[in-house]
Amino acid sequence: MLIKIAHSHPIRPSEITPESVYHGRRRFLLQIGAAAASVTLGGCEPPESGAVANTALASLKVTKKTELAGGENVTAYEDITHYNNFYEFGTTKEAPARNAGRLRTRPWSVVVDGECEAPGHVDLDELINPQVLEERIYRHRCVERWSMVAPWLGVPLAPVLRRFKPTSNAKYVAFYTLFDPRQMPETGRGVLNWPYREGLRIDEAMHPLAFLSVGLYGRVLPNQNGAPLRLTVPWKYGFKSIKSIVQITFTQWQPETSWNQLGPQEYGFYSNVNPAVDHPRWSQARERRLGELVMRKTLMFNGYPEVASLYSAMDLSTFF
């Protein structure tokens, strides 16, 4: 995402790699006994034959898998992990994969505070427990018109939030990324108002599709995709899916968000995927799936009509 430079084509042909078929390429060991030992982030498994996942990243075991992308092909791991937006590590699509290695993802602490009765911390180890961890295959659509289908591993956001007992004043939830210029040298350039911040209305955050991801393609989340935990909000433009979260705050008022602060006319608070509401500098009617050459039609709410009731009383061209 760039505020000043318009892209006629978000993806250069040279960056497109062949589509890979995901199904049948992974193995998941679901035996609970083995899972307990292998779920720790420090562990490593030998490479799987034909696998493309980064074998330096530990496998994560899941108990539940849900396909939520209408059976569409899953995007190649190589594409999902080498065409990124993570401005703390650079503003090109290749920079995060190159630079995010310097991010230390353990120890990691996520503070939860604000309008809640039981402020505290998110326990990462609890999230990567194979008893609760699930795989969800979601569509993911960037405001810049590229999209993918990714198999995230994680947990629904709502039960995590409920643990902290939000009060009736909690109308919104604000999320903040780590801000550490020693690990994130690009933050010195002041491209965005750091730390990167995002927010959801509380009913959006509590929607069953809202997800906290800790893994990808059967393994721990690569740093460039937002390790150790990120939001995945599949019906919204990708910039709502904030990476490397260190703080979650329940608020009474709509929180400020990084991209909206930078360009309020271009990046709204809601940012629901909507082919009928154009970005001021480009149409949102079509998108390019990573690994494909021909653009495809963008789907309302990115193909998740079950969220429409959240916005039934709203004019989505005003609240874009």
Q: Which residues bind ligand MTE (CB under 6 A)?
A: 1, 84-88, 142, 177, 196, 225-226, 238-239, 241-244
CB of 137 to ligand MTE, least distance (A): 14
Using the minimum distance from each CB to ligand MTE, give the nearer residue, 90 or 166: 90
| CB 181 within 8 Å of CB 136 | no
Using the minimum distance from each CB to ligand MTE, give the nearer residue, 39 or 143: 143
Using the minimum distance from each CB to ligand MTE, give the nearer residue, 59 or 258: 258
d(CA 161, CA 149): 26
CB of 97 to ligand MTE, least distance (A): 9
Using the minimum distance from each CB to ligand MTE, give the nearer residue, 130 or 176: 176
Which residues, in sequence order, are CB contacts of 14 under 8 Å at separation 6+? none
CB of 242 to ligand MTE, least distance (A): 5
CB of 88 to ligand MTE, least distance (A): 6
CB of 134 to ligand MTE, least distance (A): 18
**Residue 58: C-alpha distances to residues 132, 215, 239, 287 (Å):** 17, 9, 26, 33
CB of 225 to ligand MTE, least distance (A): 4
Hey, which bits of the chain come out as E strands?
Answer: 64-68, 110-114, 120-122, 134-141, 146-156, 172-177, 197-201, 211-216, 219-220, 230-232, 245-251, 286-289, 296-297
Using the minimum distance from each CB to ligand MTE, give the nearer residue, 170 or 242: 242
Our measurement of the distance from residue 60's CA atom to the centroid of its chain's CA atoms, rounded to an integer in Å, reads: 18
Using the minimum distance from each CB to ligand MTE, give the nearer residue, 35 or 225: 225
Backbone angles phi, psi at 27, to 5 degrees: -120, 135
Position of minimal CB gap to ligand MTE: 238
d(CA 217, CA 80): 10
d(CA 292, CA 286): 13
